[in-house]
Amino acid sequence: MKKTITLLMLIAVMIVSACSSSGDGGKNTNKETASPTSSGNATNAPESTEDVLSGTKPQLRQLQPFDRFDPNTYFTAGFLEEKTGYKTTYDMLPEELPNEKLNLLMSNREKYDIMRLTKEQFFTLAEAGALEPLNDLIDKYGSNLKAGIEDTTWSAATIDGKIYAIPQGGTGIYASSSLVIRKDWLEELQLQVPTNRDELYTVLKAIKDKKGVIPFTGTGQVSVIPEIASTFGIANTLTNNAWLEVDGGVIHQAEHPRMKEYLTFMNKLYKEGLLDSEWPINTSSVAIERFTSGQSAMMSLAWWSAPSVVNALKKNFPDADFVTLPFLKDEQGVSTIGVNTGITYFMAIPKWSVNKEHAMNYMNLKLEKDLFKEIVIGQEGVHHKFEDGKYFPILPAFDDLNNASYYLTGVDESVYASYWQARVRKDPILFNYFEELQQLAEGLFVIDRLSNAPPIASISEHSQKLTKFSNDTYLQFIAGTASLDTFDSYLAKWKADGGDAMNKDANAWFSTQK
């Protein structure tokens, strides 16, 4: 916490110092680097859009998150330069300690025009005063952005009435994972696919007694398993950081009145040998390996991992197969799935950019209807085809677009989900599992109530450390290395270390949404 505050102060001081040195007392934060292509403060932008954007287009510089390819030589980079006329240079943050590097770049007023930020990064820089308010720029140069992005999405990037970034929404509401179990073993043991928690316990116990394998494997990265927690009314997500609506307000999942009951059930499974004994230290790769090597009967499978799991299982056991469990019902016979519909990235412009108008124009051009479609799924008849109301990839040409989403700076929410699904259809295994998962999930979604909330200071400050604290503690409760008699002490510490502050601020925001 102290480190975060220090970084904020450093960035803020550097900004103020630079502004003061311009000789105008900080009133014009861009005077020092003003140019014919920059309007200074957005509120003083010229009336004529054509005047600002006329002449030679400047080369833009964009800061991106880490990835394992060269964005400057990739197909989409050249395509965008050809279609928009803007040559853009892409820099990446490092894989390790990206936030520290970002804060250093900002304190040095590095000359970027666009930055693709996580929610935490966005709020840190907005709070430090490093980001340009975009309201006027959007009004003048962002007609496509305004048309394509929903009001609820804009609210996530709005602080005190000012928009500080272009928020990039996700791909729609989808189920991410479900429990899968060896179908051939169920048939061998004459067991039915479980549909509720009690039936699940019976099946796991029978597998342990009769097959001698690990009934259920998983990873220590996830202590609150969505497919099981939902049977206790805890509609969480894989992030283990859900906010749920209860009695007209919101609570964090840590405060859910049945969280201790969920942990008690998981501890029972662990003590009886129905969970992988190394669950707390397993990585996702280890859990997948145990399932595909025949050491375990059941796991939670995310749709994006389906091809690797199916292929590995078939390689090891050609006659093996698994079945996807329906989402388990609670005591009232109701199934639910927690989902987060929040923002994936925030596209911000630093206050000191000399190309603010061009940066906004560039992002706006990419949401022009035909260009946006071609960025995402390429040319019809070359990269994709349209059949039965759906988009399908044409291989191998579609592989040119594997990293295309890296270049998006906002999406047209009315069409993006349908375009994006073409990527799922690249692999028959992936497509079939994804489709099956969504059919099972239809009508069961419970949306995280803070999905589209703007950055909330206390949550940005405390959420990461409290999520880790909870996950570590829950794993101890499950494995029995900590007594569940101390659950109240854990919760009291969670509240004292920032949970109460998060709850108060979350409810203050939520009350304005009714």
User: Domains plus CATH for the chain?
Assistant: 2-170+343-411 (3.40.190.10), 177-340+429-454 (3.40.190.10)
- Give the pLDDT score at 241: 80
Cβ(106)–Cβ(12) below 8 Å: no
Cβ(122)–Cβ(132) below 8 Å: no
493 burial level (CB within 10 Å; 0-12, 13-18, 19+): middle
Cβ(364)–Cβ(143) below 8 Å: yes
Asked whether the CA dihedral 457, 458, 462, 467 is positive or negative, the reply is negative
Token code pair at residue 479 = 């494995």
Residue-wise pLDDT tens digits, 439-455 = 999 999 999 998 888 87
- Give the pLDDT score at 453: 84
- Give the pLDDT score at 10: 55
Average pLDDT over residues 374-383: 97
Please name the residues in contact with 23: beta carbons below 8 A apart, sequence gap of 6 or more. 31
Q: What is the dihedral of CA 60, 63, 69, 72, to 10 degrees?
A: 10
The pTM of the full predicted model, rounded to 2 decimals, is 0.75
% of the chain with per-residue pLDDT over 90? 74
The amino acid at residue 407 is Y
DSSP-assigned letters across all residues of 428-443: HHHHHHHHHHHHHHTT
> pLDDT grade, residue 34 (50/70/90)?
very low
- Give the pLDDT score at 173: 85
Beta strands in 429-495 (DSSP E): 445-447
Least confident residue range of 31-40, 191-200, 333-342: 31-40
Cβ(3)–Cβ(117) below 8 Å: no
- Give the span between the Cα atoms of 111 and 70, in whole angstroms: 20
> pLDDT grade, residue 91 (50/70/90)?
very high
Average pLDDT over residues 207-226: 95
Least confident residue range of 60-74, 382-396, 418-432: 418-432
> pLDDT grade, residue 52 (50/70/90)?
confident
Is the pLDDT confidence value at 37 over 70?
Answer: no
Q: What backbone phi and psi angles, to 5 degrees, belong to 110?
A: -60, 140
- Give the span between the Cα atoms of 499 and 490, in whole angstroms: 11
Quickly list H helices, 69-171.
75-84, 98-107, 119-127, 135-141, 143-148, 151-155
> pLDDT grade, residue 97 (50/70/90)?
confident
Is the pLDDT confidence value at 263 over 70?
Answer: yes
The SS3 assignment for 477 reads helix
- Give the span between the Cα atoms of 479 and 482, in whole angstroms: 8
The CB-based long-range contact list for 89-93 (8 Å cut-off, 24+ gap) reads 89/59, 89/60, 89/61, 89/62, 90/62, 90/64, 91/61, 91/62, 91/63, 91/64, 92/63, 92/64, 92/65, 92/66, 92/67, 93/63, 93/64, 93/65, 93/66
- Give the pLDDT score at 349: 98
Is the pLDDT confidence value at 320 over 70?
Answer: yes
- Give the span between the Cα atoms of 55 and 276, in whole angstroms: 65
| Angstrom distances, CA of residue 226 to CA of 129, 177, 327, 402 | 38, 9, 10, 29
Asked whether the CA dihedral 37, 39, 42, 47 is positive or negative, the reply is negative
Average pLDDT over residues 37-48: 42
Q: What backbone phi and psi angles, to 5 degrees, belong to 249?
A: -125, -170
Between 80 and 7, the more confident residue is: 80
Q: What backbone phi and psi angles, to 5 degrees, belong to 131?
A: -110, 145
Cβ(330)–Cβ(232) below 8 Å: yes
Q: What backbone phi and psi angles, to 5 degrees, belong to 483?
A: -80, 140
The amino acid at residue 132 is E
Token code pair at residue 309 = 């799991």
Is the pLDDT confidence value at 40 over 70?
Answer: no
- Give the span between the Cα atoms of 192 and 169, in whole angstroms: 40
Please name the residues in contact with 315: beta carbons below 8 A apart, sequence gap of 6 or more. none
Is the pLDDT confidence value at 513 over 90?
Answer: no
Is the pLDDT confidence value at 282 over 70?
Answer: yes
% of the chain with per-residue pLDDT over 70? 89
Is the pLDDT confidence value at 132 over 50?
Answer: yes
Q: What is the dihedral of CA 32, 35, 39, 41, to 10 degrees?
A: -10
- Give the pLDDT score at 17: 52
- Give the span between the Cα atoms of 22 and 26, in whole angstroms: 7
Average pLDDT over residues 219-241: 89
- Give the pLDDT score at 456: 86
Q: With left for phi above 0 and alpha for psi between -120 and 50, is residue 485 left, alpha or beta?
A: alpha
User: Residue 347's beta-bridge partner residues?
Assistant: 116, 166
- Give the pLDDT score at 171: 75
| Angstrom distances, CA of residue 42 to CA of 5, 24, 47, 52 | 28, 17, 11, 12
